[in-house]
Amino acid sequence: MAKRIAIVNALVVSMTDSRQPREGFVCIRDGDIDEVGAGAPSFPTDGIDIIDAAGAVLMPGLVNAHTHLYQVLLRAVWEDLELMPWLKRIYGCARVLTPAHFYNGSLLGCVESIRSGVTTVCEHNFLNPSPECALEAIRAMQDAGLRAVFARTIMDAGEIVPECTKEKPEQAFRLIEALVARYQHSQLLTFMTGPNTPPINTTSELLREVRRFADANSLGISAHVAESHSVVDAVRHQHSKNGVVEFLQQFGIPAHNSIFAHSVHVSNDEIRILKETGTSVSHNPVSNMMLGDGVAPVVEMLRQGVNVALGTDGAASNHSQDLFDTMKAASLLQKVHHRDAGVIKPNDVLRMATIGGAKALGLDSICGTIEVGKRADLILVDIDTLHSQPVNDIFSQIVHCAKASDVKTVIVDGEILMRDRQFTRLDDHKILAEAKLANRDLMQRVSRLSF
Ligand SMILES: [Zn+2]
């Protein structure tokens, strides 16, 4: 018999257009969004799991388009450093990171993500001292029940990259092929590949080869792009190019299935390359502010029609996995940067956190909006709260008033992962206790390292 859920009395923010939402209902059948309607449902409700959403917004689950989940173990470590010396330490951790750190850290990251309304994560993986590290990060996301993109990237050069995590392209490609084959029947997991942070930890040979490999295996590409001035200086001095996007274009890296995290220091000409190639950007404003990187030209990207998604980045530079924080930061940062209160609209920010993210990850036919035929990746956000009432503009108030702690219920692929703030498949107390132990172990190991 079909498994049916009906969410009723909800203020439905479908993200299919910018009209003010109406009160209505959504029906789910075997994980598919089956019906979206105004008012109350007219069908008999026997045998259907009814969720009364009175006082809440029903919206698409949030898409975190760029993170490193295990980094919750590294919250507020090395937080006063700018990108290069900070990266030297983050990479250096590869010398002591174990598969258990990846599992316990990533699982806590998943708990925090679900609690804050995230239903899809793009885990940009870049430290692989052993193949088990990737397997354990994936196991955590699967245990949590999140929809996930595992972007298994490669580093083959760079003085700040420890030898244990540098790979020859061919050797990395074999491992990625094995990963993709192992999880080929996994409904919630897809893969990307990519150069991690070109050009500071990738050779030109890798950039050429990774595009060929990605195309041969129908994989998208995820990369850290133009995050700080230091990366742009590297392409100028070593490769005589004006910017990282321009540099990457000669290798065919910008493309419709590529997502460039950060893209802080990109020129208007480079934004035109992003638009013409259909490349998406993951904007990570909290991380950019934390590391003092600068302000990404998001307004110009939107003006030129680039698809922009939103990410937290890892907790080592955020220090949370909270996309509500990130939405508010994305809005306010552009307003203050341009000294123009109207320069970005709340609906633009909500699009980045939902359908923009889904499109960037190649999942826009599956999730990102509330539409019949898509899978049910949905969240209920309580707006009957002191900090959200009275409601005058729901889009602005989701971005600027709502908090992660207002997320009541989270559904991924039709499965209820959290209902009225209670997890259905995870023991969050146990996960937290194990993550604390993993953190203590990691910090002891890191204290013996020299950077
Ligand atoms: Zn990152």
pLDDT in tens, 115-172: 999 999 999 999 999 999 999 999 999 999 999 999 999 999 999 999 999 999 999 9
pLDDT interval class at 9 (50, 70, 90): very high
Between the CA of 336 and the centroid of ligand 1 the distance, in Å, is 24
Between the CA of 25 and the centroid of ligand 1 the distance, in Å, is 37
Between the CA of 68 and the centroid of ligand 1 the distance, in Å, is 6
| C-alpha of 346 from chain center | 19
Between the CA of 327 and the centroid of ligand 1 the distance, in Å, is 17
pLDDT interval class at 76 (50, 70, 90): very high
- The three-state DSSP-derived secondary structure of 138-196 is HHHHHHHCCEEEEEEEECCCCCCCCHHHCCCHHHHHHHHHHHHHHCCCCCCEEEEEEEC
pLDDT of amino acid 236:
97
What are 339-348's pLDDT values in tens digits?
999 999 999 9
What is the distance in angstroms between the CA of the first residue and the CA of the last residue of the chain? 59
pLDDT interval class at 262 (50, 70, 90): very high
Between the CA of 19 and the centroid of ligand 1 the distance, in Å, is 34
pLDDT interval class at 315 (50, 70, 90): very high
pLDDT of amino acid 1:
79
Mean pLDDT of the 210-219 span: 98
Helix (H) or strand (E) holding 379: strand 378-382
Residues in Cβ contact with 215 at an 8 Å cutoff, skipping those fewer than 6 apart: none
Between the CA of 197 and the centroid of ligand 1 the distance, in Å, is 9
Identify any residues that bridge with 124 across adjacent strands, giving them in sequence order: 151
Predicted structure pTM score: 0.98
Whole-angstrom distance, CA of residue 307 vs CA of residue 216: 25
pLDDT of amino acid 219:
98
What are 22-72's pLDDT values in tens digits?
999 999 999 999 999 999 988 888 889 999 999 999 999 999 999 999 999
Whole-angstrom distance, CA of residue 21 vs CA of residue 44: 25
pLDDT interval class at 364 (50, 70, 90): very high
pLDDT of amino acid 17:
87
Between the CA of 122 and the centroid of ligand 1 the distance, in Å, is 10
Between the CA of 205 and the centroid of ligand 1 the distance, in Å, is 23
CB burial of residue 76 (10 Å; 0-12, 13-18, 19+): exposed
**3-state DSSP assignment of residue 300:** helix
Between the CA of 447 and the centroid of ligand 1 the distance, in Å, is 23
pLDDT of amino acid 451:
86
pLDDT of amino acid 45:
80
Between the CA of 311 and the centroid of ligand 1 the distance, in Å, is 9
Between the CA of 45 and the centroid of ligand 1 the distance, in Å, is 45
List Cα–Cα distances, 133 to 67, 128, 322, in angstroms.
16, 6, 24
Between the CA of 268 and the centroid of ligand 1 the distance, in Å, is 23
CB atoms near residue 167 (< 10 Å) = 17
Whole-angstrom distance, CA of residue 341 vs CA of residue 337: 10
With 90 as the cut, is the pLDDT of residue 19 above it?
A: no
